[in-house]
Structure 1
Amino acid sequence: MIRERALQWRRALVVALPGLWVLGVVCWELLSPLGTQFVQLLAATPAIACAGSGRRQCVVLGGACALFALVPLGSTGRADDATRLGTCCAILAVLGAAYLTSGRGRRLAQELEHVRAAAAAAQRALLRPLPPRLEGLALAGGHLSASRGALVGGDLYEALATPHGVRVVMGDVRGHGLPALGTVAALLGSFREAAHDEPELPGVLRRLERALQRHLRERARADAGPGRERCDAEEFVTVLLLEVGEDGEITALNCGHPWPHRLTGTGHGGPRAVAVAPGDPLPPLGMFPLPAELPPLTLDRLRPGDTLVLHTDGAEDARDAAGAFFPLTGVLTEAARRPLLAPAAVVEHVQDALLRHTGGRVGDDFALLALRNDRPRVPAEASTAPSPAAPGIEVTYGGGSFTPRAKQPPLR
């Protein structure tokens, strides 16, 4: 709210600045006791209006300035006819230049707005918003791009409900900003198909590897030109694949990606965030071929009410002006101790803390995905008391036995 009010005051000052300039020059001319002529300073008014607002209102303001220059100021008429005529000509010259500049600037601004709108639509289609709920799981995702004017960059995430369970991918392409969008599109497109087609998680990862290799070959061929092929050996992608079963059991495959954090409300010290690290990750995709055997790792079961937070290394590597790293685990612990631990609130809390830590300057792309288990708890086991038995069958109960009898009809 404070920032919005500051922007409103700034816009109002920019619009009023040319009028304030004219008023100041006129008052200075009228009140100056030395007989100095300041009417020539009015020639700068159209340039100030054009630089401040960039609108055609500078034309009207420039005409008003010309009229002021033609009118003698003060009772003694200090500004002679030659001075006023020269000032008027200067105002008209600056006015013409400002008119042409403002028109061209307006056209360029409109074209830029159209390009930004098209880019925003394409980027939202690429990294589409997550559904708020998916098979009993509450979801929320967010991302910050290091490139100015880009909504997304080299980070990717997706969550899909498949016949094999809820499958989630979180990845980070080498580099950031718009140049990495092609690789992000190739990997997300492959995951959205493979997550439904492949019965096992290793099959999904191999499909992602083939999609990345195919994309890199096509890009190298296009960059090198016809008849030449260049291999970009330094291109790689870190990937974390998760599969959440109906009972909350999580299996994972990690290729060089940071492990997630678990937010839980139980344990010593109250709610806290704990980094999950079941084993060493594989090398990132693109650096080495995948091994022949890809045994998935099993994470602790996600109990009802627990939240799993996936992130890219843009959070852990973010620094402030003094060079201190961003305390991701501490910030997640603060989020876990809040009364309402909604995934969207966790994402917003971490993003706000990251921007405050870095002063609004993000050095690398950052993505975050929070997943909370909202499935109902498993009911307690049924009582050991026997169910009603069929008539004529002897049942042992409480140390004795009895033989149920069929219900007799009432006596007439």
Structure 2
Amino acid sequence: MIRIKAGVSCGRAALVRRRCGSGYRRRRRLAGRQPLRRVLSLALPTAWGATAITYKLVCPLAQQNGLGARIVTSAVFFAVGTGLMLHVRRALQRELRVAREVAWAAQSVLLRPLPQRIDGLRVAAAQLSADRGATVGGDLYEVIATEHGVRVVMGDVRGHGIAALGTVAAVLGSFREAVHDEAELGSVLRRLERALGRHLGERARAGHPSAGLSAVLDPDSPVAEEFVTVLLLEIRGDGEMRAFNCGHPSPYLLSGGRVEVLTAGEPLPPLGPFPLPAELSAEHCGQLLPGESLLLHTDGVEDARDAHGRFFSLPTVLADAVRTQPVSPQAVLGAVLSRLSRHAGGSPTDDVALLVLRNDRHHIPQQQEPPVAHQVT
């Protein structure tokens, strides 16, 4: 049954009915083809097997013990085995292609591609999963323009790969809704904490239905060890920045060829193991002036090691990248990823997420207080 909303024209309603009807008919056709596809998938192995059995039972050459007969028999069974292996290989390739399509679809919804410009800010982002074959992992990021300013989240879920996707979905879903509803950044952080708590509670109940909430509070429970580091940032129209840092690496401020660590006061513990304080007040981080950039990252970047066990020097790479002015977010991102890939010898051992924001706004009022930043030597 199709219900037509008020204000929808009859022509549009007819179009909806036609589309729904065609989709239903297409699903019925595909469902009807499934048994036929199963039969066809078994036809080739059955034919190869029948060929081998027929040769062995009927062909007079197969009954002989001479060298020539043995060579021919070996060739026949080799051909049969090769055909079966190629058939299995094609079937596995089809399944892998479908799995990759599903993974890309999940990535487009979970970590959707960010636009190049958001409310006067140029944006570039990238994410790499440590799991081979996975396109998404345990890192998360999002940038959303709201009436309260541009709000940014960068997070890192304990663990990586497919197992962390549920937690990433819970945190990102809560952030995308809360940033529009909550005027205070601290209220957004509390919404993230509650969403994470609900998600972990559901996981605990799924693993131990009789345990309920006690499974989350039990220190020996695997769910009790889960946590998420979060950097929550707000950039207002005048460039003023406010932030909460819950156990996450501090971002880097790229200004005039300099690379500085942008601090947001005393960091809070990661979300999950400990509750947030009763009073939350966002830390002022100064202003992001026109032409200046911020780089947010997860600890998988600076924890990457080379073959000799040396850590990746992100400040050095950033210092090289900002020598060319003006600084392009895409260029900074590309420089970091290429150097990181060479340093780690290919794929990283931990999930990696990078987010670069550059202020392209033309006019910002004069800042009232200096930014809290420390230059990296």
**1:243-299 CA distance string (max 9 Å, x none):** 10111110001111111001111xxxxx12111124220011111111111111111
> In 2 relative to 1, CA 328–223 (structure 1 residues): closer, same or farther, beyond 3 Å?
same
Matched, 1:214 2:198: yes
Q: Is the 8 A contact 2:290 2:364 kept in 1?
A: no
CA distance in structure 2 between the aligned counterparts of 1:192 and 1:125, rounded to whole angstroms: 12
CA distance in structure 1 between the aligned counterparts of 2:140 and 2:188, rounded to whole angstroms: 16
> In 2 relative to 1, CA 378–179 (structure 1 residues): closer, same or farther, beyond 3 Å?
closer
Map of 1:90-101 to 2, 5 A cutoff? 90-101=74-85
CA distance in structure 1 between the aligned counterparts of 2:253 and 2:305, rounded to whole angstroms: 23
Q: 1:245 aligns with which of 236, 260, 274?
A: 236
Matched, 1:369 2:355: yes
Matched, 1:133 2:117: yes
CA distance in structure 1 between the aligned counterparts of 2:336 and 2:194, rounded to whole angstroms: 34
Q: State the match for 1:296 in structure 2.
A: 282
Matched, 1:328 2:319: no
The TM-score, its normalising length taken from structure 2, stands at 0.76
Q: 2:154 aligns with which of 140, 149, 170?
A: 170
Matched, 1:357 2:343: yes
- After TM superposition, give the deviation of residue 183 of structure 1 in Å: 0.3
Q: What stretches of structure 2 of length at least 5 have no aligned partner?
A: 1-44, 49-64, 217-222, 367-377
CA distance in structure 2 between the aligned counterparts of 1:278 and 1:158, rounded to whole angstroms: 19
> In 2 relative to 1, CA 285–149 (structure 1 residues): closer, same or farther, beyond 3 Å?
same
Q: State the match for 1:147 in structure 2.
A: 131
CA distance in structure 2 between the aligned counterparts of 1:286 and 1:120, rounded to whole angstroms: 29
RMSD between superposed Cα atoms in Å: 1.8
Secondary structure of 1:92's partner?
Answer: helix
How many aligned residue pairs are there? 296
CA distance in structure 1 between the aligned counterparts of 2:194 and 2:241, rounded to whole angstroms: 25
**1:147-179 CA distance string (max 9 Å, x none):** 111111110000000010000000001111110
Task: Choose 1 or 2 for highest CA Rg.
Answer: 1
Which amino acid in 2 is paired with 1:98?
T
Q: State the match for 1:384 in structure 2.
A: none
Which amino acid in 2 is paired with 1:126?
L
Larger RCO (CA under 8 A, 6+ residues apart): 2
Q: State the match for 1:227 in structure 2.
A: 210
Which amino acid in 1 is paired with 2:155?
G
Q: State the match for 1:179 in structure 2.
A: 163
CA distance in structure 2 between the aligned counterparts of 1:348 and 1:125, rounded to whole angstroms: 24
CA distance in structure 2 between the aligned counterparts of 1:103 and 1:340, rounded to whole angstroms: 55
CA distance in structure 2 between the aligned counterparts of 1:278 and 1:129, rounded to whole angstroms: 27
- After TM superposition, give the deviation of residue 354 of structure 1 in Å: 0.8
- After TM superposition, give the deviation of residue 361 of structure 1 in Å: 3.0
Matched, 1:109 2:93: yes
Q: 1:314 aligns with which of 284, 289, 300?
A: 300
Secondary structure of 1:140's partner?
Answer: strand
Q: What stretches of structure 1 of length at least 5 have no aligned partner?
A: 1-55, 60-80, 266-270, 381-412
Q: Is the 8 A contact 2:238 2:365 kept in 1?
A: no
Q: Is the 8 A contact 2:114 2:125 kept in 1?
A: yes
Which amino acid in 1 is paired with 2:74?
A
Secondary structure of 2:224's partner?
Answer: coil
Which amino acid in 1 is paired with 2:210?
G
CA distance in structure 2 between the aligned counterparts of 1:208 and 1:132, rounded to whole angstroms: 26
